[in-house]
Amino acid sequence: MEKIVESFELYGKSYRLETGELAKQATGAVLVTQGETTCLVTAVVSKEQKDYDFFPLTVDFIEKMYAVGRIPGGYLKREAKPSDKGTLTARMIDRPIRPGFADGFKQEVHIVATTLACDGQNPPDCICVGGASAALLCGGTPFDGPAACVRIARNAETGEFIVNPTYAEQETSDLELTIAGTKDYISMVEAGAQEVSEEDMLAAMEFGQQAIAAFCEKQAEFLAKVAPEPKEYPVHVPDASIAERVDAHYDEMSAALHDADKLSRIAKVEALKSSIKENDFTEEERAAWGSDIAAACKALEKHAMRRMVIESGERADGRAADEIRPLYIRPGYLPRVHGSGLFQRGQTQALSICTLGLLNEAQRLDTIDPQESKRYMHQYNFPPYCTGETGRMGAPKRREIGHGALAERALLPVLPSEDEFPYAIRVVSEIMESNGSSSMASTCGSTLALMDAGVPIKAPVSGIAMGLIKEGDDIVILSDIQGLEDFLGDMDFKVTGTEKGITALQMDNKAKGLSTEILGRALKQAKAGRHFILQAMLAEIAAPREELRDTAPRIDTIHIAVDKIREVIGKGGETIRGIQDSTGASIEIQEDGTVHIASVDQEAGKAARAAIEAIVKVPEVGEVYEGPVVGIQSFGAFIKLTPSKDGLLHISRMANGRVGQVEDVLSMGDMVKVQVIEIDPKSGKISLDRLEKPDAPEGSAPAPRHERGEREDRGEREDRGERRDRGEKTDHRPGRSNREANEHRTPRRRH
């Protein structure tokens, strides 16, 4: 196949689709580019069918560090498991692609998106969705495309929408909406926003749908050049008698579904399915049609649930379409932790725990994105026991990473800035029970935990999951969906926000024909649900607590001159470690001279602050100090004023009357109260006057001139040595003589 290229511009940015040169043994492969960000997206369809009752699609997004000119960190210096960002991008590609395949298509499909070059301006994620669609269609697969994905930003000052913004354009945006689908319908939406109204969010979606259509048109022009030959892929059609026998049990299935308790309902439904398999099918039929029978039973359950909602307006647990399940809310659930909150809605229960730390405990990111760290971390855990099942506990799965990222995005807009609250913040949501909407329970529980911890969030956030049942022209939008309505419904639409507006949004759609008009109705119904839940939360905790818990670190912030940072750190970190060891406080120093001092014990923090301030203190004329004698010379004594500054108390200012020798009045280590009387502007030398002078002792008189001269000479030599000990280094530069140091050196032999 010859190389085929389609270059085009849309919404002020340049793009390129290319095939026929790389990865030619894949079913389809497309090189997709925005600016200079380039990704290879391949699609491979297996040759044999799989006997699964689900569509076996796998998507991998591979971040190559060479794409940004970096060597991977770690011992192996090789890309290992995907980053959270890589996992989220793989999920973002999967969700709009999966609905495009027909029911009954059972070949395995594997899509791999590899970053080859990233220009640091254009993100690679959105273009990979279009690349996956193009790769599938170039390979002649039965995919209902073209499909595309765009990111919509909005300039916070002008209100102008921006399509596929650069990283710099995202910085000035109050909205980040990622939307995917075809020219006819929307299949996936994700958003983060600075409390944007429902009307503005809907306007952004409508604009995004238009942009998707434009990209799909360009993709179609590219495919017209490629002219792929459609391949014959078998679509599995089960024996018609299977559905007939299974559907005869509709009334029994409808009765089994009428149970508000999840485990009881599941037990009844599974018992009915087992009965159908055992009594309506022979052993030979079960062996031959096993997955088809399971799929038919699932289809019966789906049909019964949907018909019940459409025809009677009644849900499995007896609620109305817009009714919220019973709530149970308890902030401050755990002792000793920095903050906690238990949030329960029906049979979904989330316990969120907040931990505060120094900013240097923020998470460092080793990805191809420009972002290097994040101070707010939200993690979501979904153990097997929360659904009453057994299973292995291990690394978080894609779903857990995605739900944690959604809750993190929901709360980011309301967090205080580093200047207002100089803490790293980690929230962990442990799902204790699950029957749908656990990510939204996690968001609500995390708001409780942050408020309980005393984090001064700008506004509390609540969240709700919306569902959709669409049969022809009949549409019912469901508030606060449970697991059954998620699995068997047409939409999972999660919305979080404050009273002012939306902070995050995520939607997956299984029904073709989902319009922005339906999404607008869902947003309006979600707003009412969010308000109801938020009021219940505020009834338990009306505002963030005014004080941090006793177990939480107090962070005190001071600013020092940049040229003093080295003095505070000390040689090899000796000084700062000494302060931390002696006080028990933790200290972080930033490059601009900002110092954060963290300690659970308030007195320890004060002691650490005093120690740092003493190091960086610059004495001024008129200030009074009390310090030890650290050096004695014939002409005076050196008094330690701060850990890094000494001053000279001249012999004439030590006592009332004439002092012959310094040792007659002062000894090493004596504490002396002095006042700064002069600072040499060139050398910085400090002259002192003693306060509360004693009378000069009787018999103290100046030494004879010749002794004084010897002593002064000796004193000057000792003074030079002492100064050298205090940091003056011997000059080792070529051509410089250090006679004293080289006195006993063996002469170099000349040749």
CA atoms of 364 and 83, how far apart (whole Å)? 12
CA atoms of 383 and 389, how far apart (whole Å)? 9
Q: Which DSSP letter does residue 697 get?
A: P
Q: Which helix (H) or strand (E) holds 606?
A: helix 602-616
- DSSP letters for 131-164: HHHHHHHHTT--B----EEEEEEEETTT--EEES
- DSSP letters for 71-100: ---SSS-S--SPPHHHHHHHHHHHHHHGGG
* Per-residue tokens: 463: 């969240």
Q: How many residues does the chain have?
A: 751
Binding site, annotated residues for Mg(2+): 486, 492
Residue type for 270, please? E
Residue type for 12, please? G
Q: Are strands 554-559 and 502-509 parallel, antiparallel or unpaired?
A: unpaired
List beta partners, residue 476. Answer: 469
Do 92 and 190 contact (CB within 8 A), yes or no? Answer: yes
Measure CA of the first residue to CA of the last residue in the chain; give whole Å: 75
Q: Are strands 57-62 and 107-117 parallel, antiparallel or unpaired?
A: parallel
Q: Angle at CA 379, nearest 5°, toward 375 and 384?
A: 170
Do 600 and 358 contact (CB within 8 A), yes or no? Answer: no
* Per-residue tokens: 736: 């410089």
Q: Which helix (H) or strand (E) holds 746?
A: none
Rg (CA), the chain: 36
Binding site, annotated residues: 486, 492
74: left (phi over 0), alpha (psi -120 to 50) or beta: left
CA atoms of 715 and 699, how far apart (whole Å)? 22
List beta partners, residue 625. Answer: 674
Burial of 728 (0-12, 13-18, 19+ CB in 10 A): exposed
CA atoms of 444 and 408, how far apart (whole Å)? 11
* Per-residue tokens: 289: 């049609």
372: left (phi over 0), alpha (psi -120 to 50) or beta: alpha
CA atoms of 190 and 178, how far apart (whole Å)? 5
Burial of 94 (0-12, 13-18, 19+ CB in 10 A): buried
Do 324 and 479 contact (CB within 8 A), yes or no? Answer: yes
Longest dimension (CA), the chain: 127
Q: How many CA atoms lie within 13 A of 713 on its CB side?
A: 5
